[in-house]
Amino acid sequence: MTAAPCTTDASTVTDACSATDACTATYIFAVCRGGDPAALEGLAGHAEGAHVRLLPVGSFTAVVQDVPADRFSEEAVRERLSDGAELERCARTHHAVVCAAARCAPTVPLPLATLYLGDERARTALARREQRLHAALDRIEGRAEWSVKAYAVPGRPDAPGPAGRTGGTSAPAAPAAPSSAGSGAGRAYLERVRSRKQARDHRQETALRAAERVDTALRDLAVAARRLRLHGPGPDGDRRTQVLNAAYLVAEGRESELAAAVGRLRQQAEADGVRIEVSGPWVPYSFVDGGDTDDLDD
């Protein structure tokens, strides 16, 4: 068998490039409806591209940038986004333009690195999704996204197990009697292991229940809610276990209600060893897809 030629999107980009004089791709940040997005023209956008410009598509305005296709081929993008600093730069640049757009008009953000081989293709793709874009804009207009995360605070390694709670079994944490050093010490060790595991399980259950309470309470304030993938432990010594990573779509003007609710929930959660973190308001990234959103309205 001969080695198959590697046909990828990247090569498609390259082919298209050689066919035209300008090797540029159209990078779409966001799609706006109404408002006055003229102020967006001339924003810097990604460093290797031209200035941000507006592309009218039917009743929408897409916020786009011409970028060099070779810097945004599939391979190039994959490589760049695997580099931490570069990933951060791209994400923050994308977000800056999306935020600027959202200040001018109701805005649907598109995911990082949504690229087309030219304006016509971009127009066609967006026009095909006109209904969905309208639905998304209807959903998010006048609303903002809030991120709420909850973490189980790690128990101290020497924290006593829940011996009192479990009753029944004795908790021989005391040193074994000298006469039975062998088997006594072994059993004490097993008991300690078991009691530590029980304590850990108990903390985890308590934290998960606390997270559910937080989620339930905040859904009452939200128009829609979404659970995002939980983060694993970071490499930076953050040993906390994330038990909730959620996004809530909240009507503008209800921020103080949200703040008050979070304040109350925090006090309660603190007692369960759970810390709540909030960030926002976000452009409603998590609510423009329509796919996984649990709509609480109807």
Partner 1 sequence: MTSMTETVPWEGAWEEGGPLGVPLVDLLDRVLGTGVVVSGDLVIAIAEVPLVRVSLHALLSSVNERVPAPWADGGPL
Task: Kindly give the interhelix angle for 119-128 and 130-140, rounded to the nearest 10 degrees.
Answer: 70
Contacts (CB under 8 A) with partner 1, residues 228-247: 228-229, 231-232, 234-236, 245
| Shortest distance, position 126 Cβ to partner 1, whole Å | 6
Reading the block at residue 281, the tokens are 């308001």
The stretch near partner 1 (CB under 8 A) out of 94-102, 170-178, 190-198, 205-213 is 94-102
Rounded to whole angstroms, how far apart are CA atoms 165 and 110? 51
| 191 vs 277 by CB, closer to partner 1 | 277
CB 171 within 8 A of CB 211: no
The stretch near partner 1 (CB under 8 A) out of 115-123, 154-162, 165-173, 177-185 is 115-123
Residue 245: which region, alpha, beta or left (left: phi > 0; alpha: psi -120 to 50)? beta
- Check binding of 165 to partner 1 (CB under 8 A): no
| 91 vs 173 by CB, closer to partner 1 | 91
- Check binding of 77 to partner 1 (CB under 8 A): yes
| 175 vs 234 by CB, closer to partner 1 | 234
The stretch near partner 1 (CB under 8 A) out of 122-130, 173-181, 185-193, 198-206 is 122-130
| 46 vs 94 by CB, closer to partner 1 | 94
CB 283 within 8 A of CB 99: yes
Render 26-92 in DSSP notation, one character per residue.
Answer: EEEEEEEESS-GGGGTT---STTS--EEEEEETTEEEEEEEEEGGGGSHHHHHHHHHSHHHHHHHHH
What do you get for the CA distance between the two ends of the chain, in Å?
A: 58
| 104 vs 171 by CB, closer to partner 1 | 104
| 99 vs 176 by CB, closer to partner 1 | 99
- Check binding of 155 to partner 1 (CB under 8 A): no
Own/partner long-range contacts of 266-271 (Cβ < 8 Å, ≥24 apart) = 268/210, 268/213, 269/150, 269/210, 269/213, 269/214
Binding mask 249-288 for partner 1 (x = CB under 8 A): ---------xx--xx--xx--------xxxxxxx--xx-x
Among 17, 63, 117, 274, binds partner 1 (CB under 8 A): 117
Rounded to whole angstroms, how far apart are CA atoms 121 and 119? 5
Contacts (CB under 8 A) with partner 1, residues 44-73: 72-73
